[in-house]
Structure formats: structure tokens, C-alpha cells
């Protein structure tokens, strides 16, 4: 990691918009007034890529009506907060469900933990899988080493580091630090600096604004891992959660090193209902001064699509509802987003994502099913809208180091995803999924992608974990070129030891 990117002196933070600094300071001051006696506690997160079983268990338990104090539209979640909420869950009498709760409680036991991982991977074509933080499965086989470290040396400070190293027999190597950051504060206001991944929204195969499809961003972030009970006149809103960040993107793009600012706010007025709204803005960069006029144009969407305009922005809202039917619990969710909304304050050029999650199938709690659909195809508003930005020649495109920051389906596309799990132990499962994608951009032919995969995660003990995945993908008319067909098959297997 480049230390200059993290430095507050002489670096890019000196030039961060004054309005963002003011907003962060005002929010922190408001939290201090509202919660003056809160004990300091900053904790590391549960990693989205390393610990998918934890997030799946959280979704299942919430589908059963447990863990009501968690808000899950903004991930990754903090390990201590998840463990604390699991500690509040009583015994249900179901061995599988109670075992899942006990598994989540493990997150609060150590002051630090460490995972070391080694595995083998093979891919026919060396493709980058969806939601893989931009890391490919190298062509013709490679070894992958990695793991993470998490520590909380004091109540008010925590640090985490995660990385991967890929090596192929012919000498090709890929290495990268992933989520690596320092955290200061307490659950109602944690300040983070370093590299972090975002996932905003209730979708689990994708989300419109931020997912793990691209590599982690480098910047600063202020959020509350523990939802705040608003009280007073806002009691009807229930719990409140916020997330603010400022990052700077890479140099190798038409507008080098532009700013990326994001804001998300969510409320949970009922244990069965969660609502969120988010906005992200690209602006500035080398050769582009940031003034109060620039900020005003960005906030009001003025000159959004004019050549040489002030920036690019996306907005979204999301709703998640749990229907507590005793015979079949159901979780339903929807996310809507607007891109290049240049009609004053009115969002336009919409995309949609929706899904249904069954945390059990009838009374079979060891099984679950998810169906999710996403659509960025808006033929009424012109071509090549979502995640691209023609007015800046792609300088403000919602892309980082070649990968879309949002949903991997891309612009002018539709995606249908189906996934099923079978838990044979509270922390171990088999997985089957299918992903069908139609892409109408760039054309002229429609690209069709069909990807199926099978996976397993198994804990032999509280310290030893193994994971494996088989995937097959077939692409017709790749890149919109008729007859450009391809196939890819991949295998991934890893064994890890976690000290805790």
C-alpha cells in the first residue's frame, strides 16, 4: 500500500471537499451529544470474501426472526457487534439454529485472531469471477496463499489486514493487500482509514452501487457498526445507521485520480422492516479543480452529462421486508437506482434489483433458497448509461481498476440468479447456484452468459476450515460480437487454519 495515499499531510485529504469535512464533524458531534456515556469500542469486521458462511448464517437467523438489533444493508459487519447480538439470542430448542448462534458468538472471544490459508486453483481461460474483488483464477492452475489478521489492542482501537498471493508454475505472480485498515472510536462512530470493501443494499449476488466486484478502495470512512436508537421525536424510525466515505481512484484512467464520495443512511422502524438510501459522486481529479461551484454543481446534478461537466453520480434506495409466516418464513427486498440523473433534483435512468430469500424450505431449516433479479437496461434513455460516463470519456465511470464497483452484470443487462444451500452442520454447507446474464451493450449482438457452480464450506473444528468450488461458464456472442463464443471451467480448493 502506498503510504502517500493514507497520509493526511501533503496528500489528497488536504483537498477533500469542505462540505464533506463539515458533514463528518457535525455528525460526530451529534453522536457525542446523543450518546455521551458510550463506552469506547472499535472492532474489526467479518470479511465478506473470507467468511461467507457467517453472512449466510446471519441472513438465515434474521429470516427466522432472530438478531433484530442488526442492520445488514451495509456490510461488512463488525465481528464484535454480530457476536454481541448473537449473545442476546435465547435458545430456540432447534439444534441447528442454536448451533448457528453459538458459531456467531465466537467473534467476541479473542482480542485478536489470525487465519492462514493455502489452496490450489485452476481456470481454463483465466477469468475474473463475479464479486471476487477483481482477482482472477489464473489460467492453467496456480497456488493461492493468504489469510487475515484482526486485532483490538485496546477498546478504542482495532486493526485488520487481509491479503492474497497467487503464483503459477511459469512464474506469473499476483499479490495484493485487500481490506487493511486502522479503526478508531466506538460502535456509534468508528473512523476507519486504509483499504475497505463496501456492500450497500439487501442484494446478495449483487447491488447497484457497491459490491465486492472490484478491489477494495483506499480512503477514510465514518460509520456506526452498532445501529443507533434515535429516540425523542424520531422514535418511530427505530434504529438508524449511517456510512460516509471519501476515496480516491486510480491514476490509469481518462481523468486520473478522481474523488469518490459516498453516503448511505438506513433506518429499521420495525424488526421486520429495513429501509436505506445511498448516494455516490465522482468528481475532481488531476487537472480538475474542486471549488464551491464544483460542489454545488455535483450536489444539484448540474452539467451532469455535458462534456467537461463537474462529475458523475448515482443514487439508490432499498427496502427489505421479512414476512414471518410460521409455515414458511420469507424475506423480500428491492433496490432501485438512478444513474446520470441530470434533470435537476429529479432522479432518472433507473435500474432495479429484487429478490426473495427463503431461510428454510418448509420446516427444513437446514435448507434455503434465494432468487434474485437485476436489470440495468433502460432503452428509453439512450444507450450505455449505467456505470459508464460518456461526458467524461469514462473518466468518471463507476469502475475501479477495470472492474465495476456495483453489480457485475454491467450496463444494459439483465441478470437472474438462483442459489440453494444445504447445511449439514451449523457452520458447514453445500451450495448450488446458477447465474444467467443477458448483455445488450455494446452490441450489435446480445451477449448471453450462463454460469453454474457448486461449492462447499466445512469446519473440521473451531480452528480448521476447508472450502472448495467448481464453476462452469458458457458465453455466447462475447462482447456483442456474433459467433464469439467461449467456455470456461474453474476449480478452487483451500485449507485454512484460524488461531483464536
Three state DSSP letters for the chain = CCHHHHCCCCCHHHHCCHHHHHHHHHHHHHHHHHCCCCCCCCCCECCCCCCHHHHHHHHHHHHCCCCCCCCCCEECCEHHHHHHHHHCCCCCCCHHHHHHHHHHHHHHCCCEEEEEEEEEEEECCCCCCCCCCCCCCCECCEEEEEEEEEEEEECCEEEEEEEEEEECCCCCEEEEECCEEEEEEECCEEEEEEEECCEECCCCCCCCCCCCCCCCEEEEEEECCCCEECCHHHHHHEEEEEEEEEEECCCCCCCCCCEEEEEEEEEEEECCEEEEEEEEEEECCCCCCCCHHHHHHHHHCCCCCCCCCCEEEEEEEEEEEEECCCCCCEEEEEEEEEECCCECCECCCEEEEEEEEECCECCECCEEEEEEEEECCCHHHCCCCCCCCHHHCCCCCCEECCEECCCCCCCCEEEEEEEEEEEEECCEEEEEEEEEEEECCCCCCCEEEEEEEEEEEEECCCCEEEEEEEEEEEEECHHHCCCCCEEEEEEEEEEEEEEC
Three cell numbers written together for 49: 470474501
Q: 54 CB contacts (<8 Å, ≥6 apart)?
A: 46, 82, 103, 104, 107
Q: Is 499 exposed, middle or buried (0-12, 13-18, 19+ CB in 10 A)?
A: exposed
CATH code of the domain covering residue 33: 2.40.160.130
Three cell numbers written together for 34: 446523543
pLDDT of res. 324: 85
Q: Is 366 exposed, middle or buried (0-12, 13-18, 19+ CB in 10 A)?
A: middle
Q: 30 CB contacts (<8 Å, ≥6 apart)?
A: none
* 158-185 pLDDT per residue, tens: 999 999 999 988 888 889 999 999 999 9
pLDDT of res. 16: 41
Query: Cα(161)–Cα(115) distance, rounded to whole angstroms?
Result: 11
pLDDT of res. 30: 44
The dihedrals phi and psi of 482, each to the nearest 5 degrees, come to: -60, 130
Q: Count of domains in the chain?
A: 1
pLDDT of res. 224: 94
Query: Cα(137)–Cα(157) distance, rounded to whole angstroms?
Result: 35
Query: Cα(260)–Cα(179) distance, rounded to whole angstroms?
Result: 18
Structural domain of 389: 3-499
Three cell numbers written together for 324: 414471518
Name the CA dihedral angle for 296, 266, 352, 433, rounded to a multiple of 10 degrees. Answer: 140
Three cell numbers written together for 82: 454480530
Q: Which residues of the chain have pLDDT under 50?
A: 1-39
Closest C-alpha to 409, from 130, 217, 133:
130
In angstroms, the first-to-last Cα distance of the chain is 27
Q: 487 CB contacts (<8 Å, ≥6 apart)?
A: 124, 125, 472, 473, 474, 475
The torsion region of residue 58 among left (phi > 0), alpha (psi -120 to 50) and beta comes to alpha
Q: Under DSSP, is residue 254 helix (H, G, I), strand (E, B) or coil? A: coil
Query: Cα(353)–Cα(201) distance, rounded to whole angstroms?
Result: 10
Looking at 198-346, list the stretches that DSSP marks H as alpha helix, in order from N- to C-terminal side. Answer: 292-300
Are the CB atoms for 239 and 267 separated by under 8 Å? yes
Three cell numbers written together for 493: 480448493
* 241-251 pLDDT per residue, tens: 999 999 999 99
* 26-69 pLDDT per residue, tens: 444 444 444 443 445 678 999 999 999 999 999 999 999 999 99
pLDDT of res. 165: 95
Amino acid at each position: 500500500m502506498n503510504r502517500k495515499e493514507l497520509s493526511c499531510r501533503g496528500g489528497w485529504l488536504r483537498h477533500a471537499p469542505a462540505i464533506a469535512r463539515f458533514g463528518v464533524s457535525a455528525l460526530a458531534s451529534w453522536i457525542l451529544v446523543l450518546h455521551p456515556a458510550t463506552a469506547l469500542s472499535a472492532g474489526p469486521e467479518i470479511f465478506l470474501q473470507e467468511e461467507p458462511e457467517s453472512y449466510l448464517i446471519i441472513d438465515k437467523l434474521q429470516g427466522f426472526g432472530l438478531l433484530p438489533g442488526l442492520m445488514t444493508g451495509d456490510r461488512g459487519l463488525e465481528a464484535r457487534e454480530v457476536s454481541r447480538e448473537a449473545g442476546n439470542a435465547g435458545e430456540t430448542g432447534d439444534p441447528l439454529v442454536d448451533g448457528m448462534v453459538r458459531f456467531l458468538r465466537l467473534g467476541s472471544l479473542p482480542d485478536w485472531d489470525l487465519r492462514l490459508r493455502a489452496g490450489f486453483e485452476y481456470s481454463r481461460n483465466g477469468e475474473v469471477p463475479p464479486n471476487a474483488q477483481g482477482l482472477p483464477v489464473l489460467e492453467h492452475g496456480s497456488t493461492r496463499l493468504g489469510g487475515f489478521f484482526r486485532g483490538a489492542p485496546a477498546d478504542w482501537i482495532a486493526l485488520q489486514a487481509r491479503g492474497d498471493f497467487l503464483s503459477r508454475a511459469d512464474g506469473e505472480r499476483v499479490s495484493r493487500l485487500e481490506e487493511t485498515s486502522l479503526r478508531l472510536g466506538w460502535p456509534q462512530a468508528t473512523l476507519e482509514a486504509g483499504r475497505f470493501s463496501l456492500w450497500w443494499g439487501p442484494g446478495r449476488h449483487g447491488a447497484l452501487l457497491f459490491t465486492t466486484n472490484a478491489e477494495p478502495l483506499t480512503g477514510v470512512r465514518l460509520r456506526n457498526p452498532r445501529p443507533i436508537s434515535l429516540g425523542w421525536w424520531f422514535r418511530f424510525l427505530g434504529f438508524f445507521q449511517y456510512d460516509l466515505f471519501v476515496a480516491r481512484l486510480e491514476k490509469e484512467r481518462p481523468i486520473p485520480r478522481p474523488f469518490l464520495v459516498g453516503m448511505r443512511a438506513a433506518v429499521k422502524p420495525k424488526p421486520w422492516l429495513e429501509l436505506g438510501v445511498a448516494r455516490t459522486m465522482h468528481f475532481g481529479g488531476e487537472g480538475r479543480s474542486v471549488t464551491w461551484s464544483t460542489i454545488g454543481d455535483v450536489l444539484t446534478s448540474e452539467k451532469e452529462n455535458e462534456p467537461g461537466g463537474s462529475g458523475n453520480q448515482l443514487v439508490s434506495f432499498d427496502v427489505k421486508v421479512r414476512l414471518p409466516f410460521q409455515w414458511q418464513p420469507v424475506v423480500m427486498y428491492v433496490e432501485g437506482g438512478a444513474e446520470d440523473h441530470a434533470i435537476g433534483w429529479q432522479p432518472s435512468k433507473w435500474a432495479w434489483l429484487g429478490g426473495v430469500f427463503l431461510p428454510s424450505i418448509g420446516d427444513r431449516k437446514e435448507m434455503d433458497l434465494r432468487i434474485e433479479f437485476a436489470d440495468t437496461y433502460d432503452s428509453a434513455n439512450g444507450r450505455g448509461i449505467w456505470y459508464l460516463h460518456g461526458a467524461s470519456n469514462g473518466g468518471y465511470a463507476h469502475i475501479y481498476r477495470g472492474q465495476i464497483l456495483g453489480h457485475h452484470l454491467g450496463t444494459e443487462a439483465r441478470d437472474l440468479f438462483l442459489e440453494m444451500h444445504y447445511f449439514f452442520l451449523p457452520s458447514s454447507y453445500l451450495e448450488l447456484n446458477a447465474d444467467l446474464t443477458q448483455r445488450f451493450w455494446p452490441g450489435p449482438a446480445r451477449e448471453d452468459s450462463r454460469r453454474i457452480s457448486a461449492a462447499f464450506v466445512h469446519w473440521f473444528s473451531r480452528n480448521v476450515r476447508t472450502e472448495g468450488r467448481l464453476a462452469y461458464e458458457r458465453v455466447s456472442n462475447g462482447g456483442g460480437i456474433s459467433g464469439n463464443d467461449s467456455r470456461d471451467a474453474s476449480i478452487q480448493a483451500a485449507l485454512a487454519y484460524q488461531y483464536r
